[in-house]
């Protein structure tokens, strides 16, 4: 937990909370986008609302100042208009009226957004503040307990008429694969999400393969073992990379994006994740002029594990929404 700068100099504060399958982050920013407070804690799936209320109240107490609004980033089918979230399969949420419940508890305006979309929005804004020729489109590929993409296309957040644009974690990767938490078979998540990576190591060792890995290893353990030359781990990480490279190709081909940023807990593996993905993309480019056209000048980068893009994006959305006379603009399609 840190508190930096001078909290009272920055005008009205807003908080951003990112509820992940494994951990929940909060940031508080001032009107100059400076982070005054941040904290990360394991997600309490049995008490999501209570946990968010507690995190915001702790931040208020620590800063000695109220927040004017709270943005909440969460996976699943999110309706930003009524603040509801449903089908968050990795959180066990069937349907939750999250925004109204938090508004009652916290007494400030609450803005709920899909986690990867909030992150993509933040990345897009950061790019716009940086280079003069920043790309107007970006896909943020979140790989953690689940997998999904948030997409900003030509400067606008892509939601889709069905509200599910970017849910690449549930496109089919192996038609004969495992049943996914969503009920479908062989989704990308059953191969390349964090829990699936550990599960594959267990399966291979149960089948008699020898490995330095202990039972119930995490994705991070598997990537470390892969870097150290463990054959089982290398087989898994290569398979994961091939499937993620295909997902990136799909994003490039269906949406036309040239910038893909990978984040989420699995991205903490760093080069052990990125290098095999880039090798796989290079093989696709060499094999196909079409893949070369789609991916030749694309950048695929990893977000630093210290960044909290979902929470920053949620805070940015809250700031924009209370700052605008009408509920339009950033955060809207």
Give the binding site for Zn ion (CB under 5 A).
170, 180, 182, 184, 187
**Distance of closest approach, residue 77 Cβ to Zn ion, in angstroms:** 13
Q: For residues 182 and 220, which CB has a smaller minimum distance to Zn ion in the complex?
A: 182
Q: Which is nearer to Zn ion, 51 or 148 (CB)?
A: 148
What would the two tokens of residue 258 be?
């040239």
Closest distance of CB 146 from Zn ion, Å: 8
Radius of gyration from C-alpha coordinates of the chain: 20
Look at residues 154, 122, 114 and name the one whose alpha carbon lies nearest to residue 136.
Answer: 154
For residues 317 and 71, the answer to whether their CB atoms sit within 8 Å is yes
What DSSP designation does 258 have?
Answer: S
Shortest reach from residue 136's CB to Zn ion, in Å: 30
Paired strand residues for 29: 14, 35
Provide the minimum distance between the beta carbon of 221 and Zn ion in the complex, in angstroms, as a whole number.
24
Is 187 or 233 the residue whose CB approaches Zn ion more closely?
A: 187
Kind of pairing between the strands at 84-88 and 93-96: antiparallel
Q: Which is nearer to Zn ion, 101 or 219 (CB)?
A: 219
Q: Considering the complex, state which of residue 133 and residue 162 has its C-beta at the smaller distance from Zn ion.
A: 162
Quote the least distance from Cβ 174 to Zn ion, whole Å: 12
- In whole angstroms, what is the distance from residue 217 CA to residue 28 CA? 34
Residue number, 87 or 302, with CB nearest to Zn ion: 87
- The answer to whether 115 and 107 are in contact (CB under 8 A) is no
Q: How far is the CB of 264 from Zn ion (least distance, A)?
A: 16
Q: Which of 142, 150, 245 is nearest to 194 (CA)?
A: 142
Residue 250 C-beta: closest distance to Zn ion, Å: 15
DSSP reduced 3-state for 190: helix
In the numeric block, which tokens belong to residue 48?
């999501």
Strands of the sheet with 2-3, listed across from one edge: 2-3, 35-42, 23-29, 13-19, 67-74, 110-114
Q: How far is the CB of 181 from Zn ion (least distance, A)?
A: 6
Measured over the CA atoms of residue 192, residue 89, residue 184 and residue 165, the dihedral's sign is negative
Side by side, which strands form the sheet with 138-143?
A: 156-157, 147-153, 138-143, 259-263, 299-302
Closer residue to Zn ion in complex, CB, 119/193: 193
Stated as kind and residue range, the H or E segment containing 138 is strand 138-143
Select 182 or 205, whichever has its Cβ closest to Zn ion. 182
Least CB distance from residue 184 to Zn ion, whole Å?
5
3-class SS of residue 162 = coil
Q: Which is nearer to Zn ion, 170 or 243 (CB)?
A: 170
Q: How many helices and strands, by DSSP H and E, does the chain display?
A: 10, 14
């Amino acid at each position: 937990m840190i508190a930096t700068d001078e909290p009272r100099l920055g005008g009205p504060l807003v908080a951003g909370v990112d509820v992940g399958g494994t951990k929940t982050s909060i940031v508080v920013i001032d009107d100059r986008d400076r982070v005054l407070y941040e904290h990360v804690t394991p997600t309490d799936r049995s008490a999501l609302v209570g946990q968010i209320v507690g995190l915001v109240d702790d931040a208020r107490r620590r800063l000695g100042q109220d927040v004017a609004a709270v943005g909440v980033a969460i996976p699943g089918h999110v309706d930003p208009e009524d603040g509801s979230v449903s089908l968050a399969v990795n959180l066990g949420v069937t349907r939750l009226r999250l925004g109204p419940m938090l508004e009652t508890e916290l007494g400030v305006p609450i803005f709920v957004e899909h986690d990867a979309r909030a992150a993509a929005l933040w990345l897009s804004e950061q790019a716009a503040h940086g280079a003069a020729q920043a790309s107007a489109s970006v896909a943020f590929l979140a790989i953690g307990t689940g997998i999904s993409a948030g997409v900003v296309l030509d400067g606008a957040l892509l939601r889709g008429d069905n509200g599910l644009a970017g849910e690449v974690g549930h496109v089919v990767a192996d038609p004969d694969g495992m049943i996914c938490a969503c009920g479908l078979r062989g989704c990308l998540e059953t191969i390349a999400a964090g829990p699936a990576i550990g599960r594959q190591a267990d399966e291979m060792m149960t089948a008699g393969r020898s490995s330095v890995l202990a039972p119930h290893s995490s994705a991070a353990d598997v990537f470390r073992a892969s870097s150290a030359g463990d054959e089982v781990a290398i087989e898994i990480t290569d398979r994961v990379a091939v499937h993620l490279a295909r997902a990136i190709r799909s994003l490039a081909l269906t949406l036309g994006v040239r910038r893909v940023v990978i984040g989420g807990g699995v991205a903490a593996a760093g080069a052990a994740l990125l290098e095999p993905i880039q090798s796989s993309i290079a093989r696709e480019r060499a094999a196909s002029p079409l893949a070369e056209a789609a991916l030749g000048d694309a950048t695929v980068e990893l977000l630093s594990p210290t960044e909290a893009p979902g929470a920053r994006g949620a805070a940015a959305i809250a700031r924009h929404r209370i700052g605008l006379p009408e509920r339009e603009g950033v955060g809207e399609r």
